[in-house]
Structure 1
Amino acid sequence: MENKYNLKSPAVKRLMKEAAELRDPTQHYHAQPLEDNLFEWHFSVRGPPDSDFDGGVYHGRIVLPPEYPMKPPSIILLTPNGRFEVGKKICLSISGHHPETWQPSWSIRTALIAIIGFMPTKGEGAIGSLDYTPEERRALAKKSQDFSCEACGCSMHSALLALTPNSNPSAEDHKAKELAQQINFKAESSLSRQASESGAAEGEPPTPAEGALASTSEGPEQAEASPPTVPEEARPPPAGPATGRPLSPRQRRAQQHSHQAPSRPVFAAAPRQPRDASRVGSVLLIVVLTLALAALIFRRVYLANEYKFDYEL
């Protein structure tokens, strides 16, 4: 196989290294490439203990792209299991369906441990996922040990080492489990993020009736901060803060303006001295004009009386 591929290719180097590391089967997983295709691997994983898959051994394919490890592989289960569809590419954060969550530091060993960790989780309608009953999954777990792969000739009776109570995982297994936990966390966080984004995109502003109902259920402070959108004609005149009397239309408009624009900066009041001075000047001007008009009227009356007196003489 080494003469068939370019040994300078990063993907070939990486797969050769991983094939050497996974040459010997373990108690929980095993994977090796086909004899004539380095980019197609067959794997076997043991069902997680204390689950519906306990006692089962499941076989599948891993198809790797030429850009591996920069792009994720495709994972296909061949053994009926009740969690993943048989012969179909499954949708996981470590598979080709989600290249945005794949990291080059992950490996085939990481993918195998992640598959074991994903098996007890819910399918939730994902591509290639199934939600069989626990009884059906237990029955399939018993039947899985009789499965034999025609492509690689692997039998589930001898694919993995027998379980022992005192088995100690290797350092590579510890590292792979830590990476698998990161994969599970990233999957949950991406689902929650998508749910929040879809909820924000589909959300619509509340209608006036909904706003009124929501405001009645809030506290007094929240109700003042966000008043219900009720038409002004149907809104009763608000009462003053201390006297309890209805406010004037000017005060109501000022109060509505303060609610509608709470974020507008408040400036200090301007000094009132110029305003008072202008008012005093206006009063004085009015007094002067009034006196001048009175003087003119008095002079006109005086002249009219004097003319009358001269006429009589």
Structure 2
Amino acid sequence: MSDQAVLLLRKQLKELSRNPIEGFSAGLIDDSNVFEWEIMIMGPPDTMYEGGFFRANMVFPKDYPNNPPSVRFVSEMWHPNVYNDGKVCISILHSPGDDPLGYEQANERWSPVQTVETIMLSIISMLSSPNDESPANIDAAKQFREDLPGFRKKVSQCVRKSQEM
């Protein structure tokens, strides 16, 4: 299975380098390991994250594409759908099948048809419209709902820090 994963990941990386997608870039952290990628996400225009350059790591399991990669921001991130340790929490990165908590439908979760491109577009979409109903970061979700000016200020600090890195 790992050989299939290696071939698929190399193909997706090659495709992204040939046809870059606006809003992010991707490359290997170490050329000898196709399972660990570094991603640079540009804060989407007309959002609180605009102007930011956020670094993240994407780590693929050996049985990719049967199971999803994990994505973790290395840059500081204040967002309802990003855990304090930087790990991204969106439906398509959750294991395939039925949600044991019953919150998500199976068709919203990971599917082998997903690609690095679809994952990154979902993360950009997450930055554009936070989901505070199913938060990974309860404090960020609470502030987003109850103190939007304070939330904006904290996001602005993250954007500034990302520009300095």
Question: Which bracket does the TM-score occupy, shorter chain normalised?
Answer: 0.7 to 0.9
Which sections of structure 1, spanning at least 5 residues, go unmatched?
Answer: 1-5, 148-313
What SS does structure 1 have at the residue aligned with 2:91?
A: coil
Q: Distance in 2 between matches of 1:88 and 1:135?
A: 19
Task: Give the structure 1 partner of residue 25 of structure 2.
Answer: 30
**Are 1:103 and 2:111 matched, yes or no?**
yes
2: CA distance, partners of 1:113 / 1:42: 16
Q: Which residue of 2 aligns with 1:42?
A: 38
Deviation readout 1:2-48 (Å, 9 max, x if unpaired):
xxxx7xx2111100101111226554111112223111111011112
Work out the CA distance in 2 between the residues paired with 1:102 and 1:26.
21
Counterpart-to-counterpart distance in 2, 1:36 and 1:87: 26
Counterpart contact for 1:90–1:128, Cα < 8 Å = no
Q: Within 2, Cα distance between the matches of 1:20 and 1:75?
A: 20
TM-score, structure 1 length as denominator? 0.41
Shift, 1:122, TM fit: 2.9
Paired AA for residue 93 in structure 1 = S
Alignment partner, residue 124 of structure 1? 133
The sequence identity of aligned pairs, in percent, is 29
Q: Which structure has greater strand proportion?
A: 2
Residue 87 of structure 2 aligns to a residue whose secondary structure is coil
- Matching residue of 1:137: 155
Q: Which amino acid aligns with 1:62?
A: M
Letter in 2 for 1:92: I
Gaps of 5+ in 2: 98-108, 144-150
**1:1-313 matches, cutoff 5 A:** 9-23=3-17, 26-34=21-29, 35-83=31-79, 84-85=82-83, 87-95=85-93, 97-100=94-97, 101-119=109-127, 120-127=129-136, 130-131=140-141, 133-147=151-165
TM-score of the two chains, using structure 2 as the length reference? 0.74
Partners of 1:77 and 1:44 in 2: how far apart? 9
Task: Provide Cα deviations, 1:77-114, integer angstroms capped at 9, x if missing partner.
Answer: 1111211245443221121x343311111100111111
**Structure 2 counterpart of 1:219:** none
The 2-side partners of 1:137 and 1:88 are apart by: 14
Q: CA deviation at 1:70?
A: 1.2
Give 1 or 2: higher helix fraction. 1
Q: Using CA pairs below 8 Å that are at least 6 residues apart, which structure has the higher relative contact order?
A: 2
Distance 1:42 1:54, change over 3 A: same
Secondary structure of 1:42's match?
A: strand
In the aligned structure 2, how far is the partner of 1:126 from the partner of 1:29? Answer: 24
Question: Which of these two proteins has the greater Rg computed from alpha carbons?
Answer: 1
The equivalent of 2:100 in structure 1 is none
Q: Deviations over 1:211-232 (max 9, x none)?
A: xxxxxxxxxxxxxxxxxxxxxx
CA distance in 1, matches of 2:15, 2:155: 32
- The structural deviation recorded for 1:126 is 2.8
Which letter does structure 2 place at the counterpart of 1:105?
Answer: V
